[in-house]
Amino acid sequence: MQLTKEDEAKFTKLGIKTWSELALIVPHSYEDFRLHNKLQIHKPQLIDATIDSVNHFANSIQITFFAHNFGHVLGGVVFRPKPYMAHLFKTGERDYYYGLIECKNGQCTMSMPRKISEVGQITPKYKSVLKNDVMIHLIQKNLNSENLKSEGLKDTVIHEILKLHFPTDEVLKSSELSEQSLNALKYIELFLYMKLLAGKRRYFKALQTTKNDYTLWASSLPFKLTAEQISVIKNIQSDLGKNIAAKRMIVGDVGSGKTMVILASALMMLPHRSILMAPTTILANQLFEEAQKFLPHVKTILVTNKTKKIDLNAFDFIIGTHAVLYRELPQSALVMVDEQHRFGTKQRNMLEKLVSSGEKKPHYLQFSATPIPRTQAMIETAHIDVSLITSTPFTKDITSKVIHKSDFSNLLKHIKEEIAKNNQVLLVYPLVEQSDFLEYQSIAEARGYWEKNFQNVYVTHGKDKEKEEVLLEFREKGALLIATTVVEVGISLPRLSTIVIVGAERLGLSTLHQLRGRVSRTGLKGYCFLYTNQEDSFRLERFVKTISGFDIANLDLKFRKSGDLLKGSNQSGSQFKWIDLAEDEAIVKEVKRDLKIG
């Protein structure tokens, strides 16, 4: 990309580096500086006029023009004129003037006329850090088919975007962007973003490759894997057979069976070692228990803060919390991170580096139980391979309902009935301590009532250092658990049948879905009650009609009206100006195809 030093400075000022980014700074309006021989009422217009008279008043300047292009007289008025304007209009002078024309009772007036030197063209108006004339000059000098083509854009998109910067009557006629122009802007925005992501992706040689089969193991399981679980396992099997280190994200809804995908991956990696890092001791423990149950012949160890120092070389599968980062780790051919968003980029990279060897890297799989919109998953494939598990091994039977204060007695009756069946109930409160700004009770205010009226009530929250112990004890002995959203991800509670979320309208739909996913984990009939003081709760009413996490993610997107995406591997959101992730799947597909991604 060749730029003069002067233009380079302007690009820096605009915060851009490419011609395509320049093309995205589109005009917000246009001024038509061409002469027309017909009067256009309620529109700004150019006149070729001689001034017949000028009258100065305290708050205005009144002018009489003879407009040569129309052949008749026109009034002119400047409101609240600045001192320098007193000398702009002189009787007998002929010039070009531009302003808004209004007509009343046969009299036409141009309001706020100004002299124009650039006659005969349509002039774009830009909102940018540069002055409009400087911006126009920069665009005219740098924005052309050749430059945009050199950055990979295709002819149809280039044609549409150039129409906005070099306008014709067609652009002027419409007060809004045409669908073709809007799609061109979306395409360029997405093209730039995905190209950037693809550029960040680096390929390394794999430490080890394997060609192991999983089918014998799968057929020995006491249940049948779903078609999607098998499809993802096959993707991973293909990854592990390549001498390029895999980088794959597996996104599965709550209860979609990601654990079996994790175990299959460790099995297929044998005889080479695998490491799995989980965000909490409870999760690590659960995964360890599952590994012992379904991979009995694989030497597995659990590593937490409490694990004594031991030679890890003797094990094929190391499962642990972030405590594994502070151990002498043996080289491992496969690294897996569960609930990857709960670890910082630094921690994830640290684990990868600990088990790498020179330029060779382990295969890397990251798992997430937070479903993402399909369009986002498609975009992410620019820098990482993505697999979605959208179905669950069994259909969850969960009744979801929005409730209000008037429903409390019925809720109480339901809670008593569930506890009588030896089922468990979870109450999620928005805050730990009382707040003047929130119209809902906090845990501190509410716990007295529940502890007085029920037995085996447990309480925990995010700041509780004993929360994992409390959750474990509740799983075995508890009837009712009072908590904050700390339970969103974590412990499996097989007897949990009911969740009540207080102040539900304050939470994102994806968070509500994660919380709802705590119940009916083993096919138990489940209930989710969303308690709100709001009379109108359209968003919550939409939520209770679906239990698919991927549909919820799309709903969340529509309600947030936002294009936040994870940019690369860090978590700073990139706000799209034109792209609508809830609606623009077709454009994502087009860009992927043109960039030859996925």
Q: What pLDDT digit, counting tens, does each position of 474-495 carry?
A: 989 999 999 888 665 556 788 9
Degrees to nearest 5, angle at CA 58 with 55 and 59: 95
Q: How far is CA 596 from the centre of its chain?
A: 23
Cα–Cα distance measured from residue 246 to residue 235, given in angstroms and rounded to the nearest whole number: 10
- Nearest CA-CA partner of 426 in 473, 496, 335: 496
CB atoms within 10 A of CB 494: 13
- Nearest CA-CA partner of 237 in 275, 209, 260: 209
pLDDT given at position 484: 84
**Token pair for residue 525?**
């009939």
Q: Which residues contact 313 (CB under 8 A, 6 or more apart)?
A: 330
pLDDT given at position 289: 94
Domains of the chain, first to last: 5-23+136-176 (no CATH), 34-115 (2.40.50.140), 205-389 (3.40.50.300), 398-546 (3.40.50.300)
Residues 547-573 as b/e (b if ≥16 CB within 10 A, e otherwise) read bebbbbbbbbbbeeeebebbebeeeee
**Token pair for residue 471?**
């959750």
Locus of tokens 């609606």: 583
State the Cα torsion 61-64-70-72 to the nearest 10°: 150
Cα–Cα distance measured from residue 101 to residue 41, given in angstroms and rounded to the nearest whole number: 6
User: What would you report as the CA-atom Rg of the chain, rounded to the nearest whole angstrom?
Assistant: 33
Degrees to nearest 5, angle at CA 553 with 548 and 556: 125
Q: Are 585 and 375 a contacting pair, CB within 8 Å?
A: yes
Cα–Cα distance measured from residue 347 to residue 353, given in angstroms and rounded to the nearest whole number: 10
Strand partners, 101: 43, 110
User: What phi and psi values does residue 114 have, to the nearest 5 degrees?
Assistant: -135, 150
Cα–Cα distance measured from residue 492 to residue 451, given in angstroms and rounded to the nearest whole number: 23
CB atoms within 10 A of CB 66: 16
* Helix/strand/coil for 402: strand
**Token pair for residue 244?**
């390029």
**Token pair for residue 339?**
């609930």
Q: Which residues contact 488 (CB under 8 A, 6 or more apart)?
A: 511, 514, 515
- Nearest CA-CA partner of 492 in 257, 220, 229: 257
The H-assigned helical ranges of 254-361 are 258-269, 281-294, 345-354
Q: Are 197 and 598 a contacting pair, CB within 8 Å?
A: no
Omega within 30 of 0 (cis) for the link into 27: no
300-303 and 317-320: which strand pairing? parallel
Q: Are 574 and 565 a contacting pair, CB within 8 Å?
A: yes
- Nearest CA-CA partner of 425 in 498, 330, 494, 346: 498
Q: Are 339 and 368 a contacting pair, CB within 8 Å?
A: yes
User: What phi and psi values does residue 139 have, to the nearest 5 degrees?
Assistant: -65, -50
The pLDDT tens digits along the chain (598 residues) read: 788 889 999 999 999 999 999 999 999 989 999 999 888 888 899 999 999 999 999 899 999 999 999 888 999 999 999 888 888 899 999 999 999 999 988 889 999 999 998 898 899 999 999 999 999 999 999 999 999 999 999 999 999 999 999 988 877 777 778 889 999 999 999 999 989 888 888 889 999 999 999 999 999 999 999 999 999 999 999 999 999 999 999 998 877 889 999 999 999 999 999 999 998 888 899 899 999 999 999 999 999 988 888 889 999 999 999 888 888 889 999 999 998 667 767 777 788 777 777 889 999 999 988 777 777 878 888 888 898 888 777 777 899 999 999 999 999 999 999 999 999 999 999 887 776 667 788 888 888 999 999 999 998 887 777 877 888 899 899 999 998 886 655 567 889 999 999 999 888 888 888 888 888 877 789 999 999 988 888 889 999 998 887 788 878 777 765 433 333 333 333 467 888 777 788 898 899 899 888 6
